[in-house]
Homo-oligomer: A and B are copies of this chain.
Amino acid sequence: MIDKQPLIHRLCIIGVGLIGGSLAQALKQASAVTEIVGAGRAEASLQKALTLGVIDRYETELATAVVDADVVVVAVPLGAMFDVFAAIAKHLPERCVLTDVGSTKGSVLGDVRRAFGQAPATFVPGHPIAGTEQSGVEASFPELFRKRRVILTPLVETDASAHYLIRQMWEITGAEVVEMGVRHHDEVLAATSHLPHVLAYALVDTLARLDDRAEIFRYAAGGFRDFTRIASSDPQMWHDICLANREPLLQVIEQFTHDLAYLVEAIRTGDNETIMAIFRRAKHARDNLYLE
């Protein structure tokens, strides 16, 4: 074919960790990008990314890193988002498309508006629902997004071609791109991701502080391993998520604790029918809703 141009000429990835590194690898593997510039504060980590061939070069000055970039992907923890946006706001090339991979979208949008005055028309908020309990560029791999969903939450002011470019970029990684509103995204993720992490962390911490904790963990069966795997996730990342998505998270936690109290009361009073109704409904949902 004559015009097999790469989708992106110069791609700047700020924050080359598990997500940023895997995106870089997937796009390189597909020859969808000419040059990838890594950027961030931790030079040792950037050097590792360079050595691994994940990026082509790196910059530690963000203002320099975004020079002549066609696309800038911000893949730093939520707590570092504002500082990154503030550092690049005056240096972003005019037609450069800006996107992020933050797990909460309301907070990122707020950070962008605070840093830029208003959200640039070329800003396309995104969230790949992928990841492992590992972190760092050494855990990254090009197939991370394959068959995973990437949620874009474009704004009314988002430029159509910027939006289309980011959609293409993610589709190249093998992801299925879906779209929803910012607020709705944050509510759905609070329920399916943030609340389970809070529960897993709280449970493991409770058990870890019991007197016989060594024995407790020794007799933990297979179900416990799966159930608590997410408590091995990066504490800083999940701290940031909990605070960035505080309102929807607190709302669904309140619903959950109310429901849990209802179940506990049924156990206390030996209310067979209520216990069975809850367990059956949950099993049915777990077994079936998934497949819809």
Contacts and interface: CB of A to CB of B under 8 A. Distances in A.
Contacts of A260: 198-199, 202, 257
B281 A208 contact: yes
Contacts of A292: 214, 217-218
A109 to B, nearest CB: 19
Contact of A192 (B188, B224, B233, B267): B224
A217 B235 contact: no
A171 to B, nearest CB: 18
Interface stretch (A2-10, A69-77, A83-91, A272-280): A272-280
Contacts of A235: 276, 279-280, 282-283
Nearest to A267: B242
A232 interface: yes
Interface of A: 129-133, 148-149, 151, 178, 184, 187-189, 191-193, 195-210, 212-236, 238-239, 242-243, 246, 249-250, 252-253, 255-257, 259-261, 263-264, 267-268, 270, 272, 275-276, 278-287, 289-290, 292
Given A204-B285, A234-B283, 20 more contacts: A193-B220, A198-B264, A201-B283, A202-B256, A202-B282, A205-B263, A205-B281, A205-B285, A206-B259, A217-B285, A225-B290, A231-B282, A232-B283, A233-B283, A235-B279, A238-B279, A249-B267, A250-B264, A250-B268, A257-B264
23 contacts: A131-B222, A131-B223, A188-B212, A198-B264, A199-B199, A201-B279, A202-B278, A204-B286, A205-B259, A205-B282, A206-B252, A206-B255, A208-B285, A208-B289, A210-B255, A223-B233, A232-B286, A234-B283, A235-B280, A235-B282, A242-B275, A243-B267, A253-B264
6 shortest interchain CB distances as A-B pairs: A235-B279, A208-B285, A204-B282, A217-B289, A226-B226, A205-B282
